Every structure is written in C-alpha cells, then in structure tokens.
Amino acid sequence: SYSYVFQGQTGSLDHAFVTSSSLSQLTGSSVWNINADEPIGKDYNQEFNPAYLYSADPYRSSDHDPVLVGFNLQGAQNTPPAVSITSPSTGASYSAGSNITLQATATDADGSIVKVEFYAGSLKLGADSTAPYEYTARNVEAGTYTITALATDNDSALAVSDSIVITVAACQGSGTISAEGYNGIPGTQVANLLGSPAYPDSPSVSVSLGQFEFGSNIGDNYGARVRGYICAPSTGYYTFYIAGDHQCGLWLSTDENPANKSLIAYSELPVPLRAYYNRSTQRSALVHLFKGARYYIEALHKEATGNDHLSVAWQLPDGNIEAPIPGRRLSPWQSSSSARVAGNFNQAMEKAGRLQSSNLNVTFSPNPSNTYFNLSAKSAVLKPLAVTVTDASGKVIERVQNLTSGAALQLGSNYAPGVYFVEVRQGAQTVRTKLIKQ
C-alpha cells in the first residue's frame, strides 16, 4: 500500500507505531485512500498553483492518504471490596428487648469503602460510612434473624458478607412475683417503710404471690415490697394501675435493670380493694413496651391501722384489662428454696399480727349469727379499745371508739346478710376476725 503518488512514484510518508505493551489490543491498520493519485503530467507544486492552496490552516489540502489504526481498548478492572461481620458470632442468643450491636470490617484493594449496610433478611437495618462499621438495633423483638453486611466501594462495586444467625428469646412468666413484708413500722407513708432499719434487708416474711395483689386486712403497722419482672405479650402502649390502703407506689424500669426504674403511678390516700380509678395518680401515662421483653417492676405499700391491701393492674395495647396482673405475666425477683407458695403472704402477715396481739383476747358470739354478735374484749393493758367493722368491699359499716377493756358490746343487729370483717385495736395491738351474718 502507499499513501502518495509523486512524479509517477508511490510511497509512504505516514507511519503508525505500536508499543509491545499495546500490541495485544491492536485490531488492525490500513491506509485510507481518500485522495486521487497525482498524474504524471501534472505536478502539484507552487509553480502552477496559487499560494492559498498552501495556507497554514487546519483545512489545508493534502494529497497524502491517512493511515488508520484500530485498537480494542479496555479500562482498568475494579476489584470489588471485601466485607465480613465480626460481631456477634453466628448462634448468639439474646433476650427480647435487648440492644444488639452489629459490627463489620470492610476493605477495598484499589479504592475506598463508601458505606457498609446491615440487613436482617431483606430488611435494611442501618448503615455506617466510617470505620469501624457498626449499627445498634434497639429493643429487638423475639425471633430468629439472619444478618448480612453489604459493602459499597468508591466505584460502586458491591460485596456481601457471609450471613450469621442470631436468636432473640421472648420473656416467659414463671407464675409468681416476690413479696416481702416488714412488721412493726408505724405510719401511713411509704417514706416510713423506706426509713425503717429493717428495710430492705430484714423483712419479716418473704414469699411469692400468684398474682400482683395481696390483702385484705392482713395486719397493722407494716410495710411491703412486691418486686420482680413483667413480660410484655405484644409491642405497643400499656397503662398501669395501682390501688392500696394506705399509701402505695408503682415503679417500672425501662428494661430488666432496677437501676432504671421510675415512679409511674401512686395513691397517697387509701382506696378500696381494686378501686383503680378513684384518683388520676393511680393511673400511669402510656408506656411503650416491646413484645417478649422483660421489665423490672416494683410496688411499695405502707399500712398503719384499719383496712389494708395492694393490687396492680394493666391495660394491654389491644384494650383488654388484666386486674390484677396474673402470674403468667410475672417472674420473681429472685428464686429461693425457702420461698413460700403463692397466697401465704396473707397467712404469714396475719400470724405476725397475732403474735403482736397476744395480750388482747377478743371473742364474738354467736358467729355465724342471724341476729347480732356479742363482743368480749379483755386485755391486761389499761388502754381504750377501738372497733371497726367493714364489709367485703372494704366499706366501713360501723366504728366504736374508747371502748373499755372487759366491757360488752353488741353489733350487727341491722347488718344485711353477708361477710364482715372486724378489727379490734388497742394501742399497737390488733385483732381481726370474720363475722358471718345469716
């Protein structure tokens, strides 16, 4: 091939050179004959042509044919990043409501990491653009989760880590909650209990309750603490209620740690048994709980004289009310081989009350009765007695003050048939009994 003709001769003044490193990408070369060959009788030189044919501009005429060279050029190949999950390890287990921190390492051999995203199945949990790459999933519900990390480099190349599987277990109520009673503490305020030398390490009784309730009419001048854990059956907003006689308060933690508890409901004055709606303070604000999570819960109660009881209820996200909260939602603060079975809190406190009242002898006859009851009260102590009668709901039916020891008293002639509770008090001594009107 040639690229020009001059005075009857052909030749090539234009050449293309390829380096050895580019030779593998060369696809071919050729002369592109786009100019007519110069005839022998015609010499295209300056003697026969005007000067403008040789002007120095980009469009100057040429009788040379161009040389064409073809290449198949490929850009540098991007190496994808590498990513792996470093924490937690596969098979790790947690309690529902836990905060779980996911951590990963990511590298890119020929660039940089733009971000690392964390997934539970196909659900994106979050992302981090700065090493060390991590994301904290908060208040995780019960379930089994497959976790992966997705890394993106500066050339938009992607890499997916090996997956890990973690298990989040739901809280299961054991059926009881712990209760502690402290005898011999006068006063109606919870502060009287908190200020007692016996509180919190020296309770008179330590038992288990089958529901979040005890009473009624256990004794006088005592305080109580009920504590343990409550399991949320579903995610949503809950409302808690408390009722007691005398003063009581309810604390709930944001998790299972007692250090994070706060007061959510209370009653400064006595209310009847399970009367949750008498005062606005007895009801908590809406509390958001997570399904299967375990939360520390605690109620404090203080009794002086008269009726006494404590009960805690809640309203679930679906609107149902459990009053009191049943044992299947509860777990004790700590297990103990010496803890008594549910229901013995009343018996233990009543026994302690009888020991304190050993110098006061009270009898009622007849009992049961369809007419009236004769009261006989004898004591070695020369102090007046007070008698209080309540019905089954806790309402005071009759009260007698300044009764002399040994004096006779007739009660109940106008009582309707039913069950009544009588409290005879002399100073710090108290005797309680049940009357049946037929």
Q: What is the pLDDT of residues 133-159, one digit of tens each?
A: 999 999 898 999 999 999 999 999 999
Q: Which of 178, 217, 177, 218 is nearest to 200 (CA)?
A: 178
What mean pLDDT is predicted for residues 226-230?
A: 96
Per-residue pLDDT tens over the stretch 167-199: 999 998 999 999 999 988 888 889 889 888 888
Which two three-digit tokens encode residue 253?
């933690």
User: Predicted confidence band at 12 (pLDDT cuts at 50, 70, 90)?
Assistant: confident
pLDDT number for residue 355: 43
Query: Is 357-437 in the same CATH topology as 177-354?
Result: no
pTM higher than 0.95, yes or no?
A: no
How big is the chain by its Cα radius of gyration, in Å?
Answer: 46
User: Do residues 245 and 306 make contact, with C-beta atoms less than 8 angstroms apart?
Assistant: yes
Cα distances (angstroms) measured from residue 63 to each of 13, 77, 170, 191: 11, 42, 89, 112
pLDDT at 114 over 90: yes
Split at pLDDT 50, 70, 90, the class of 251 is very high
Pick the CATH number of 357-437 from 3.40.50.300, 2.150.10.10, 2.60.40.1930, 3.40.640.10: 2.60.40.1930
- On whether the CB atoms of residues 115 and 134 are closer than 8 A, the answer is no
Among 188, 257, 264, 179, residue whose Cα is nearest residue 225: 179
Q: Is 342 a residue whose pLDDT tops 60? A: no
d(CA 264, CA 242): 10
Q: What gap in Å lies between CA 303 and CA 428, rounded to an integer? A: 13
Contacts of residue 14, Cβ cutoff 8 Å, sequence gap at least 6: 3, 31, 64, 65, 66, 67
CA 252 to chain centre: 12
Least reliable range by pLDDT among 209-213, 256-260, 326-330, 431-435: 431-435
> Of residues 32 and 46, which shows the higher confidence score?
32
Q: What sign has the CA pseudo-torsion 283, 289, 292, 294?
A: negative
**pLDDT class of 428 with cuts at 50, 70, 90:** low
Q: State the fold for domain 177-354.
A: Jelly Rolls (2.60.120)
Instruction: Write down the pLDDT at residue 156.
Output: 94
Task: State the pLDDT confidence band at 55, using cuts at 50, 70 and 90.
Answer: low
In this prediction, residue 353 has a pLDDT band, given cuts at 50, 70 and 90, of very low
Domain 82-169: CATH class, spelled out: mainly beta
List the domain boundaries for the chain: 4-71, 82-169, 177-354, 357-437
Taking the C-alpha atoms of residue 253 and residue 295, their distance in angstroms, rounded to an integer, is 6
Q: Comparing 41-45, 308-312, 354-358, which segment has the lowest mean pLDDT?
A: 354-358
* β-bridge partners, 435: 420
Across all residues in the chain, what is the average pLDDT?
Answer: 85
